[in-house]
């Protein structure tokens, strides 16, 4: 009995091992040894950036043992692109081969959405005339991947759409819709600190440059006003429109007011409350702006986003003339996000706005010392360095003159406390 059982186990193990061996042979094709040799050969050339010599062994593996390694498909595009660059007479054929690489990768290693994004990206980069075809692959990729789409798919989609608009095959409205779509994916990845967040930050700047010719408020408002339905329940569409209008500083438009109000009715989130705050400022309703800004802060959990909402609260207080409260809101933002240049720019602007309510002309002029101090703190942030420098140059001209300081008992470079609601000590400086 035991001997029979042992015999069955031995036979079963033999069958399994035989099956594994057959699968291994299938992966490496009819000539396993030659497949491994060519894989090794093209990989060595590839590592040396010798794509020309890598081509023949790579092509052998691509044709004869396509399931043997993903490196055939990960390394293949660079190898073929070298051929596209150097063999001008056969460019079209090599581009078709490149497309086959992505098709075969999907066939043997799946990841259809991701690979279609790479396929479309490479095609739009190499052959502008095939942008319509590339857009089809990229659209499929974004549909399949959503917010998980690759940065290549996102950039390629925008690039293809603009190419087609420039050739008369797409409209400006199509470009605006495309931008709204890709900017949502970009923001998701940056906000959620995905693995590709740094790449999305880099490519977002490139996409912004591409989009600049289309980014005026008249076009945005014209497009989305036609599509706006005040009874819509499409929260995603409302989010897309209000974000785009907010990003492009079109918040004083009637469309932004209506879309933000509807979004807030349907989904009173931190984001929609923030948009209501911006809208209220644009309408001159500062008390409403303050109320909505506070609500956005209370609803938000992400630290960086909450810091942004504190600056929105500061804007609302500044618009109402409550400069001390505006400053307190900026300080709250800095507690969450220290050394943030945007906060210091905001702080400087609060001092500038409140400069004229602090007594005599001389006392008003001394407030600009404090404002420039704030702008100087924004110099260390690369994102605000240029704006800070311009503000420093602008408002340093408002410093009191040497003569004015002399008549008020102040000498240059001495310590002076600016009173009023500011109550800060700084170094006296002159404009001459």
CA distance 274 to 312: 7
CA distance 80 to 78: 6
**Structure confidence at residue 316 (pLDDT):** 96
**Structure confidence at residue 237 (pLDDT):** 83
Select the highest-mean-pLDDT range: 89-98, 242-251, 272-281. Answer: 89-98
**Structure confidence at residue 19 (pLDDT):** 38
Tell me the C-alpha to C-alpha distance, in Å, between residue 77 and each of 62, 82, 90, 156, 326.
12, 9, 16, 16, 55
CA distance 120 to 427: 59
**Cα dihedral across residues 277, 280, 286, 291: positive or negative:** negative
Which candidate, 426, 408, 430, places its Cα nearest to that of 417?
Answer: 426
**Structure confidence at residue 98 (pLDDT):** 94
Instruction: Give the tens place of pLDDT for each residue, 270-286.
Output: 988 998 898 889 889 99
Which candidate, 414, 407, 345, places its Cα nearest to that of 381?
Answer: 345
- Of 1.10.20.60, 3.40.50.300, 3.50.50.60, 1.25.40.10, the CATH number of 270-338 is 1.25.40.10
At residue 419, the 3 state secondary structure works out as coil
Select the highest-mean-pLDDT range: 7-21, 26-40, 411-425. Answer: 411-425
192 and 146 Cβ atoms separated by less than 8 Å: no
Q: How confident is the model at residue 191 (pLDDT cuts 50, 70, 90)?
A: confident
At residue 73, the 3 state secondary structure works out as helix
At residue 16, the 3 state secondary structure works out as helix
CA distance 62 to 79: 12
Select the highest-mean-pLDDT range: 6-20, 184-198, 245-259, 301-315. Answer: 301-315
- Centre a 10 Å sphere on the Cβ of residue 209 and count the other Cβ atoms it contains: 9
77 and 122 Cβ atoms separated by less than 8 Å: yes
Select the highest-mean-pLDDT range: 13-22, 259-268, 371-380. Answer: 371-380
Q: How confident is the model at residue 384 (pLDDT cuts 50, 70, 90)?
A: very high
Domain ranges of the chain: 216-267, 270-338, 356-432
CA distance 310 to 192: 20
289 and 281 Cβ atoms separated by less than 8 Å: yes
Percent of the chain scoring above 70 in pLDDT: 94
At residue 88, the 3 state secondary structure works out as helix
310 and 327 Cβ atoms separated by less than 8 Å: no
Asked if pLDDT for residue 254 goes beyond 90, the answer is no
**Structure confidence at residue 12 (pLDDT):** 36
Instruction: Give the tens place of pLDDT for each residue, 105-124.
Output: 999 999 999 999 999 999 99
Which candidate, 274, 268, 277, 331, places its Cα nearest to that of 305?
Answer: 274
**Structure confidence at residue 246 (pLDDT):** 85
Q: State the Cα angle at 357 between 311 and 290, rounded to 5°.
A: 30
**Structure confidence at residue 275 (pLDDT):** 86
Q: How confident is the model at residue 26 (pLDDT cuts 50, 70, 90)?
A: low
CA distance 232 to 336: 36
């Amino acid at each position: 009995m035991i001997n029979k059982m042992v015999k069955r186990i031995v036979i079963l193990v033999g069958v399994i091992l035989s099956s594994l061996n057959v699968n291994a042979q299938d992966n490496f094709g009819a000539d396993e040894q030659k497949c491994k040799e060519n894989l090794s050969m093209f990989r060595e050339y590839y590592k040396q950036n010798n794509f020309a010599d890598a081509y023949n062994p790579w092509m052998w593996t691509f044709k004869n043992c396509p399931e043997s390694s993903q490196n055939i498909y990960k390394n293949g595009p660079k190898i073929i692109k070298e051929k596209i660059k150097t063999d001008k007479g056969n460019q079209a054929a090599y581009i078709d081969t490149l497309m086959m690489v992505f098709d075969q990768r999907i066939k043997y290693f799946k990841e259809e959405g991701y690979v279609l994004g790479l396929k479309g990206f490479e095609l739009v980069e190499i052959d502008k005339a095939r942008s319509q075809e590339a857009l089809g692959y990229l659209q499929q990729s974004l549909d399949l991947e959503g917010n998980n789409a690759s940065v290549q798919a996102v950039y390629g989609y925008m690039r293809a759409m603009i190419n087609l608009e420039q050739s008369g095959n797409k409209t400006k409205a199509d470009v605006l819709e495309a931008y709204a779509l890709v900017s949502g994916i970009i923001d998701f990845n940056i906000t959620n600190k995905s693995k590709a967040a740094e790449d999305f930050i880099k490519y977002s700047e490139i996409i912004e440059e591409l989009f600049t010719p289309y980014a005026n408020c008249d076009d945005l408002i014209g497009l989305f006003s036609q599509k706006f339905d005040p009874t819509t329940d499409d929260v995603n569409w409302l989010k897309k429109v209000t974000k785009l209008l907010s990003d492009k500083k079109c918040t004083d438009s009637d469309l932004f007011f209506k879309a933000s109000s509807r979004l807030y009715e349907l989904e009173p989130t931190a984001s929609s409350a923030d948009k209501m705050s911006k809208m209220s400022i644009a309408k001159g309703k500062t008390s409403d702006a303050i109320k909505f800004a506070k609500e956005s802060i209370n609803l938000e959990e992400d630290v960086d986003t909450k810091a942004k909402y504190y600056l929105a609260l500061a804007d609302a207080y500044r618009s109402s003339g409550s400069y001390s409260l505006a400053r307190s809101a900026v300080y709250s933002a800095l507690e969450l996000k220290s050394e943030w240049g945007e906060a210091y720019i905001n702080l400087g602007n609060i001092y500038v706005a409140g400069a004229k309510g602090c007594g005599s002309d001389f006392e008003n002029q001394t407030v600009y010392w404090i404002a420039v101090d704030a702008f100087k703190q924004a110099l260390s942030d690369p994102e605000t360095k240029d704006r800070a420098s311009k503000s420093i140059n602008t408002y340093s001209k408002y410093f009191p003159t040497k003569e004015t300081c002399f008549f008020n008992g102040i000498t240059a470079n001495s310590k002076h406390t600016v009173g009023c609601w500011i109550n800060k000590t700084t170094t006296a400086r002159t404009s001459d």
